[in-house]
Chain A
C-alpha cells in the first residue's frame, strides 16, 4: 500500500509540472469518418512546418500543442483521403475533422500521407494491427469472417490447431493472452469447440494485438493483449448490413440516436445447423440442440463538447442439448459503461465500469431426477485512464484499476439432495494496478516510451484454504471469513521501448517489459475446452512472471507501398503451471494438489513483409522460434519443448483486385508439426498393451500445410444498396493434415500395433451473401 501511495505522489508531481514559458496553443478535437461519423483510432495529425504531430487515441481524440502561428495541418488515416487544412493558431482551438474513405483504386492515389510510415516512427513494436476491411476478403473456414483466424496469419502468433480460433503468442500459453472487447475481458473467445471465435467482425471497428513492448496501461497477462474495439454505430444515417451463409447468418442495424450527437449499433449472429435436426423423424433428434449466437450492442451519446457516455455489451452463448437428457450451454456476457471527459484540451479522462461473466452450465436429467453444474468466472472492474498531451514531443498516460474476481469452480444443484453437498466453494480476489507512462521524442530521431506499472493481488475469503503433503493429501485446512486476506502478492512491472529513426523509412526499436499474471486457466488439453476452470493465485499458486526483451528493424520500401520488419525476442517465464501425471482438474476441490510449477523460456525471429497498396496486396510472415519448459517433476527436471513449440511457421496472404467487381484471394500456411509425446516402446499389463514413453514432447507431428482460396463478386452498387457474393474453399488441395495421431492395437489382428492419423476437414467449400442498405 505504501508503494502505491508513493507512486500516486509521483503522478501528482508530474502533473503539476507546467509546460514551460514559450507561448503555445493547443489544437484538439476528434477525427471521424465522413460517411458514418465513426471516430478513427490511431489516425495521424501532422504539421509539416514543424515536422511533428500526434495521433488519435482509441476514442478518436487528438491534441497537439505547438507554438502560436499558422500551420498546414494534415489529417490522415490508412485507406482514407488526407485532408490538409490551413489553421491559424493564436489560441487554443477545438477542431473536429471528418475525412472520407478512399474509394479509388488505391495504387492511383499518391501516397504521401504521414500515417503510412507510422509503423516506422512509433515506439510500438511487437504490435499487429488488423484492418477490418482486409479481413473480409481473406478466405476462411465455413465462410465466416474471423479476426482470430486472421491474426493467426501474423508472425509470432500460432493457431491452436486445425480450424481452431485459439492462439499462442511468442511461446505463451492460451491463458496468457488478454482478450479485451471494449475493455472487458473475454474469458472464452471461441464457439463450437474452437472452430469459431466469438467476435462477429460486422460489429468491430479496430483490432490491435500487442505481443511485445507492452505499454504500462495494459497488464494482467504475460504474453499478449488483443484489444478489440466495437463500432460506435453510424451517427449520420440508419444503415443495415448483414450476411447469409451456409451455417450462420448475421444482421447489423445502426444509426443515430440524435444526429452527430449519439448513435447505436446492434449486431447479431446465429448458426442454424440445428434447424435441420427439426426435420428429423427421430423424436430425440428433434429435441436436440446445437447452435451458438452472438449479440453486440452499443450506444453512445455526447453531452456537450467535453463529455461522452458509451454503453456496450456483448452476449454470446453456445447451446448443445441431446433430447431432454442433457442440456449444456456456455458463453460470455460483458458490459462496459464508459465516460469520456475532457478536463481541458490537454487532459483526457476515460472512466470505465466493466462487468464480465463467463459461465458453463451442464444440466442432466436422470429419470425423474435432475442435476446441474455451473462453473465460470465473474469480474467487476473499475478503471480510470488519464491521457495528458503536454506537447508534440511529450505525452503522459496514467491511471489505475481494481477488479473484483469471483471464481466459480462448480456450483451443483440437484433434486437429489446428497449431490448438493459436492458444490465447490467460490473463490474471491481483488486485482488492482496503477501505472504511469511517458511518451517522449527527443533529438528529432529518438522516441522513448517508458513506464511503470504496480500490480497487486489479494486472495480473500470467505472459504476454506487447504495445504497438501507430498502425496497430495490434505494436510491442513484453514477457514477464512468474508473479505479476510488469504494471500497478498504484488510487484512492479517496468516497461520501456525506444525507437531510433535512421531516416524516414528505417528505424530500429528495442524494448523490455515485465508482466505479472495472477489468474490461471487449468487445462490439460492442447486447445482448451469450455469446461476449463480459471483459478486465482493462492498460497500454492504463485503469480506467473515474464520478462521479455525484443529488438526490431523496421523498413518501408517503395514510398511506403511495402512495409517490412524483422524482430527478435527472448522471454523468460517464471512460476509456470503444469499438471501431475493423471491430474484430475474437473470439479476437484483439491485441484491445487494436482499442479506442478516450473519455468519456461521462449525465443524467436519474426519476419514480415506486406504490400499495402496496388491491385495485389497481402503479406508474408515467417517465424522461427523455440519454446521450452522445465519442471522438477517432469522428465527428471530436463528442459522439454512446449506442446505448441513449432520451429518454422509461414503464412502467405494474397489478395488481387481483378476489377471493381471481382476480387480473388488466397492464403497458404505451413508450420512444423507440434512437439508431441509418442511411445518409444510398449509392454503389457493386465493383458492390455501399454505404451512406454521415454521423453516429454520428444517427437513431432507431421508438418502442417494448407491453402485456402476465396472469390468475392460485388453486385452492381446503387445509391442505397451494396451486395456481394463470397465463395471460399478451405484446404483447397485436399491435404490430409494430422489432427491427432493415436497408437493402438489393430482391431482385426491384435498381434499388431499401429499408428493411426486422424484428419479433419478434407475440403470445405462455402458461400456467403453479404448486403448493406
Chain B
C-alpha cells in the first residue's frame, strides 16, 4: 500500500531548458514615499532576459521629481547608479504625491495619495495546530494576528508586512474593506516559521486603491516566497505609472508594532 501512495502522490520536478523570447528592455520604476522620516527612494532599472544573471540594468542620469498637492517639489539626487533619493519633501498622510521621471527624453509619471494612518490595536501570537511539513525544526510554530479598526464609509486598502527577527517574511498579506467596511478586523494568517523567542515586527501599511491593485496583481506572479496562489493566467501587475513603464509609485501610511513570542 505505501507503494501505491507513493505512486499516487508522486510528482517529480526537473530543471529544464525552455526557449524564451528576448523582449526589448522596458523601464522599471519603483518609488515609495511614506509617513516615516526619509530619505525616500526611487530606483530605476530595466528588464532583462529571463535566464540572464540577476543583475538588472540600472538607469543613470534620469531626472526624477517628487511633488505634492501643496506645491512642494524636489528633484531627487542619484546616490548610486539607478538609485535616486529625496531628502527634503515630507511624507504626510492626506497629501497626494506625484512622481515624474524623464529618461532620455521619455517621460513617465504617477500619482499616489497617502491615506490617513490606521493604527494597530494589538498583535497576538497563537500556537499553530500543525507543523509546516517542510520545516526541519519540530518545535511548535506560531501565527500572528494583527487587530485594527476599519473606518466607516470609506474604501480602505491595507497591506501587512511582517518581519521575523528583522528579516522580511516574503508573503503578501493584502486586504480591502469591500465586505468588511467599518468592522473591527483581525488578520490572523501571518506565519513563516515563527518560533518561541522570535521577535516579530508588524507593519500595517495603508495604501490607495491603485497601489493595492499593483500589490495584489504582483503577489499573483511572484514565485519566490510561499505565495504560490493559483490565480489563472499570469500577467504583468497593474501599474499606476503612465507611458508603459513597469513597477509602481506608492504613498504609504505605516503603523508598526513589535511582538516577542513568549
B18 contacts partner chain A, Cβ-Cβ < 8 Å: yes
Q: Of the candidates B4, B11, B28, which one forms a contact with A759 in the assembled complex, judged by CB atoms under 8 Å apart?
A: B11
B70 contacts partner chain A, Cβ-Cβ < 8 Å: no
Which bucket holds chain A's interface residue count? Answer: 35 or more
User: CB-CB < 8 A to A742: which residues of B?
Assistant: 223
A248 CB to closest chain B CB (Å) equals: 12
Contact check, A694 vs B12: say whether CB atoms are below 8 A apart. no
Contact check, A691 vs B233: say whether CB atoms are below 8 A apart. no
User: CB-CB < 8 A to A579: which residues of B?
Assistant: 232
User: CB-CB < 8 A to B16: which residues of A?
Assistant: 741, 755-757
How many pairs of residues, A versus B, come closer than 8 Å at their CB atoms?
179
User: CB-CB < 8 A to A589: which residues of B?
Assistant: 178-179
B258 contacts partner chain A, Cβ-Cβ < 8 Å: no
A673 CB to closest chain B CB (Å) equals: 11
Contact check, A750 vs B12: say whether CB atoms are below 8 A apart. no
Interface residues of A in 731-750 (CB under 8 A from B): 736, 739, 741-745, 750
A688 and B10 in contact, given A524-B232, A679-B20, A680-B50 (Cβ under 8 angstroms): no
Q: Of the candidates A692, A743, A757, which one forms a contact with B14 in the assembled complex, judged by CB atoms under 8 Å apart?
A: A757
User: CB-CB < 8 A to A1: which residues of B?
Assistant: none
A339 contacts partner chain B, Cβ-Cβ < 8 Å: no
Contact check, A761 vs B234: say whether CB atoms are below 8 A apart. no
User: CB-CB < 8 A to A322: which residues of B?
Assistant: 130
Q: For the complex, give the distance between the alpha carbons of A422 and B237 in Å.
A: 28
Contact check, A693 vs B234: say whether CB atoms are below 8 A apart. yes
Binary flags per residue of A688-704, CB closer than 8 Å to B gives 1, else 0: 11111110111100000
Which of B86-94, B105-113, B212-220 sits within the interface? Answer: B212-220
B100 contacts partner chain A, Cβ-Cβ < 8 Å: no
Interface size on B, residues (CB 8 A): 65
Q: Of the candidates B22, B129, B170, which one forms a contact with A680 in the assembled complex, judged by CB atoms under 8 Å apart?
A: B22
Contact check, B220 vs A688: say whether CB atoms are below 8 A apart. no
Q: For the complex, give the distance between the alpha carbons of A760 and B1 in Å.
A: 19
A739 and B235 in contact, given A590-B178, A683-B246, A685-B247 (Cβ under 8 angstroms): no
Contact check, A764 vs B7: say whether CB atoms are below 8 A apart. yes
User: CB-CB < 8 A to A755: which residues of B?
Assistant: 15-18
A762 contacts partner chain B, Cβ-Cβ < 8 Å: yes
User: CB-CB < 8 A to B75: which residues of A?
Assistant: none
Contact check, A325 vs B130: say whether CB atoms are below 8 A apart. yes
Query: What is the chain B residue whose CB lies nearest that of A684?
Result: B56
A246 contacts partner chain B, Cβ-Cβ < 8 Å: yes
Q: For the complex, give the distance between the alpha carbons of A685 and B59 in Å.
A: 15
Most buried by B among A583, A691, A759: A691
Q: Of the candidates B45, B56, B217, B225, which one forms a contact with A582 in the assembled complex, judged by CB atoms under 8 Å apart?
A: B217
B47 contacts partner chain A, Cβ-Cβ < 8 Å: yes
B30 contacts partner chain A, Cβ-Cβ < 8 Å: yes
Binary flags per residue of B205-240, CB closer than 8 Å to A gives 1, else 0: 000010001001111111111000011111111100
Q: Of the candidates A643, A685, A753, A762, which one forms a contact with B30 in the assembled complex, judged by CB atoms under 8 Å apart?
A: A685
Binary flags per residue of A594-637, CB closer than 8 Å to B gives 1, else 0: 00000000000000000000000000000000000000001000
Contact check, A691 vs B221: say whether CB atoms are below 8 A apart. yes
A677 contacts partner chain B, Cβ-Cβ < 8 Å: yes
B259 CB to closest chain A CB (Å) equals: 19
A482 contacts partner chain B, Cβ-Cβ < 8 Å: no
A305 contacts partner chain B, Cβ-Cβ < 8 Å: no
Contact check, A323 vs B130: say whether CB atoms are below 8 A apart. yes
User: CB-CB < 8 A to A759: which residues of B?
Assistant: 11-12, 14
A684 and B15 in contact, given A323-B130, A677-B234 (Cβ under 8 angstroms): no
Most buried by B among A422, A471, A690: A690
Contact check, B11 vs A758: say whether CB atoms are below 8 A apart. yes
A734 CB to closest chain B CB (Å) equals: 11
B71 contacts partner chain A, Cβ-Cβ < 8 Å: no
Contact check, B231 vs A583: say whether CB atoms are below 8 A apart. yes
Q: Of the candidates A471, A584, A751, which one forms a contact with B53 in the assembled complex, judged by CB atoms under 8 Å apart?
A: A751
Q: For the complex, give the distance between the alpha carbons of A365 and B21 in Å.
A: 48
Interface residues of B in 35-70 (CB under 8 A from A): 45-54, 56
Contact check, B238 vs A276: say whether CB atoms are below 8 A apart. no
Contact check, A681 vs B10: say whether CB atoms are below 8 A apart. no
A418 contacts partner chain B, Cβ-Cβ < 8 Å: yes
A195 CB to closest chain B CB (Å) equals: 9
Contact check, A762 vs B54: say whether CB atoms are below 8 A apart. no
Binary flags per residue of A238-268, CB closer than 8 Å to B gives 1, else 0: 0000000011000000000000000000000
Contact check, B28 vs A683: say whether CB atoms are below 8 A apart. yes
Q: For the complex, give the distance between the alpha carbons of A754 and B223 in Å.
A: 11
B98 contacts partner chain A, Cβ-Cβ < 8 Å: no
A86 contacts partner chain B, Cβ-Cβ < 8 Å: no
B155 contacts partner chain A, Cβ-Cβ < 8 Å: yes
Binary flags per residue of A262-292, CB closer than 8 Å to B gives 1, else 0: 0000000000010010000000100000000
A3 contacts partner chain B, Cβ-Cβ < 8 Å: no
A761 and B10 in contact, given A692-B23, A755-B17 (Cβ under 8 angstroms): yes
Query: What is the chain A residue whose CB lies nearest that of B236?
Result: A693
Q: Of the candidates A471, A584, A745, which one forms a contact with B224 in the assembled complex, judged by CB atoms under 8 Å apart?
A: A745
Contact check, A681 vs B26: say whether CB atoms are below 8 A apart. yes
Q: For the complex, give the distance between the alpha carbons of A588 and B11 in Å.
A: 33
Q: For the complex, give the distance between the alpha carbons of A588 and B176 in Å.
A: 12
B236 CB to closest chain A CB (Å) equals: 5
Q: For the complex, give the distance between the alpha carbons of A250 and B193 in Å.
A: 44
User: CB-CB < 8 A to B13: which residues of A?
Assistant: 756-758
Contact check, B54 vs A751: say whether CB atoms are below 8 A apart. yes
User: CB-CB < 8 A to A763: which residues of B?
Assistant: 7
B117 CB to closest chain A CB (Å) equals: 21
User: CB-CB < 8 A to B15: which residues of A?
Assistant: 754-757
Contact check, B225 vs A688: say whether CB atoms are below 8 A apart. yes
Contact check, B235 vs A677: say whether CB atoms are below 8 A apart. yes
Query: What is the chain A residue whose CB lies nearest that of B223?
Result: A744
B187 CB to closest chain A CB (Å) equals: 14
Contact check, B23 vs A276: say whether CB atoms are below 8 A apart. no
A51 contacts partner chain B, Cβ-Cβ < 8 Å: no
Contact check, B21 vs A760: say whether CB atoms are below 8 A apart. no
Query: What is the chain B residue whose CB lies nearest that of A275?
Result: B1
A752 contacts partner chain B, Cβ-Cβ < 8 Å: yes
A683 and B46 in contact, given A471-B209, A690-B218, A693-B235 (Cβ under 8 angstroms): yes
A686 contacts partner chain B, Cβ-Cβ < 8 Å: yes
- Residues of chain B whose beta carbon lies under 8 Å from any beta carbon of chain A: 1, 4-5, 7-8, 10-18, 20-23, 25-26, 28, 30, 45-54, 56, 129-130, 155, 170, 178-180, 183, 209, 213, 216-225, 230-238, 246-248
Given contacts A682-B48, A683-B45, 15 further A-B contacts (CB under 8 A): A284-B130, A524-B232, A582-B217, A680-B20, A681-B48, A685-B247, A689-B54, A692-B23, A745-B54, A745-B223, A756-B16, A758-B11, A758-B12, A759-B12, A762-B10
Ranked nearest first, the 4 interchain pairs of A and B with the lowest CB-CB distance are: A524-B232, A582-B217, A680-B23, A681-B47
Between A and B, 16 residue pairs with Cβ closer than 8 Å are: A582-B220, A588-B178, A590-B179, A677-B234, A678-B20, A681-B47, A681-B48, A681-B50, A685-B218, A685-B247, A689-B224, A691-B221, A744-B223, A757-B15, A758-B12, A761-B7
